[in-house]
Amino acid sequence: MNMRRSLWWVFVAVLLVGMVVTVLSGFAAASASQYWKLDSEYLDGVFQMERVGGPGDDGQSGSVTIPSGGSKIWIADEAAAADVTFPEGDWVAYMCLGSGWADKCSVEVGVWDENSLSFSAFSVVDLRLTWDSNKKFIEVKTQTGSETIPEGQYLALKVINNDAVARSVQTNGCSSLTSPCTDPGYPTPQIATAVSLGAGGLGLSILAALRRRKETASAAS
């Protein structure tokens, strides 16, 4: 009877931990937007965008010129530590641009494959494109389904110049990319999964300890 009671309380404890993890996961998913600033640091054909507060956030400077009809790509300063899947949501690109771009600038959000050195865009629809008096460009793109950044690959932003002349993007901390509120925690997926596994492991460990205790008591009697 005591063994059954102990097992019951172990089950209840693990269940409660699971419920808490689920609640915390939902809360985190509802407020997990992250913010990257575009920089002029250049390596292997792409520029760097630095996650605010992340290990690569060492300050931004300068500007980047995009040729007529061309594009430039910025990638996150950290590769995905595991497969990171973004559920549907809104990406916000805020560009500080040189004068004259009008509506001839556009952006794409996607994945940079470090092995093939190629960019693949997410499936998105344009939700809003606005300008202000200082030539600052704001574009919101709605991701229309789940998109995954594979382990070892990079979140990327492609800026396209559709104008007949070269144009520049300011990279002095002004231009940025913001992820949806559904961001699972790039570059490391949300810790909730690890906590859940830990809770399950804890429950199994307690069960094993109780079983050994029962066997020891039986042998002693």
Q: Express each pLDDT in 18-62 by its tens digit.
A: 444 443 444 344 458 999 999 999 998 999 999 999 999 999 999
Does 56 reside within a domain?
yes
Instruction: Provide mean pLDDT across the span 106-111.
Output: 96
Q: What is the pLDDT of residues 128-159, one digit of tens each?
A: 888 876 678 999 999 999 999 999 999 999 99
Residue 103 and residue 209 in one domain: no
Does 188 reside within a domain?
no
According to the model, what pLDDT value does residue 29 have? 40
Residue 23 and residue 38 in one domain: no
What burial class does residue 208 get, using C-beta atoms within 10 Å of its C-beta: 0-12 exposed, 13-18 middle, 19+ buried?
exposed
Sign, Cα dihedral of 115, 118, 123, 124: positive
Does 49 reside within a domain?
yes
Q: What is the pTM of this model?
A: 0.74
Residue 156 and residue 65 in one domain: yes
According to the model, what pLDDT value does residue 9 have? 52
Does 185 reside within a domain?
no
Residue 85 and residue 158 in one domain: yes
pLDDT at 76 exceeding the cut of 90: yes
Residue 151 and residue 90 in one domain: yes
According to the model, what pLDDT value does residue 57 have? 95
Domain encompassing residue 16:
2-27+194-220
CA 41 to CA 157: how far, in whole Å? Answer: 14
How sure is the predictor about 215, in pLDDT bands with cuts at 50, 70 and 90?
low
With CA atoms as reference, report the closest residue to 45 among 72, 77, 78.
Answer: 72
Does 189 reside within a domain?
no
Does 187 reside within a domain?
no
Residue 164 and residue 81 in contact, taking contact as beta carbons nearer than 8 Å? no
The kind and range of the H/E element at 155 are strand 154-161
CA 207 to CA 5: how far, in whole Å? Answer: 12
How many CB atoms neighbour CB 51 within 10 A? 20
- Total domains in the chain come to 2
Residue 164 and residue 198 in one domain: no
Q: What is the pLDDT of residues 156-182, one digit of tens each?
A: 999 999 999 999 999 999 999 999 999
According to the model, what pLDDT value does residue 219 have? 57
According to the model, what pLDDT value does residue 201 have? 52
According to the model, what pLDDT value does residue 87 have? 95
How many CB atoms neighbour CB 201 within 10 A? 11
Does 70 reside within a domain?
yes
Does 117 reside within a domain?
yes
Residue 150 and residue 200 in one domain: no
Residue 141 and residue 216 in one domain: no
Residue 89 and residue 137 in one domain: yes
Residue 144 and residue 202 in one domain: no
Residue 174 and residue 96 in contact, taking contact as beta carbons nearer than 8 Å? yes
Longest Cα separation, the chain:
91
Residue 214 and residue 153 in one domain: no
**Mean pLDDT for all residues in the chain:** 81
Residue 108 and residue 7 in one domain: no
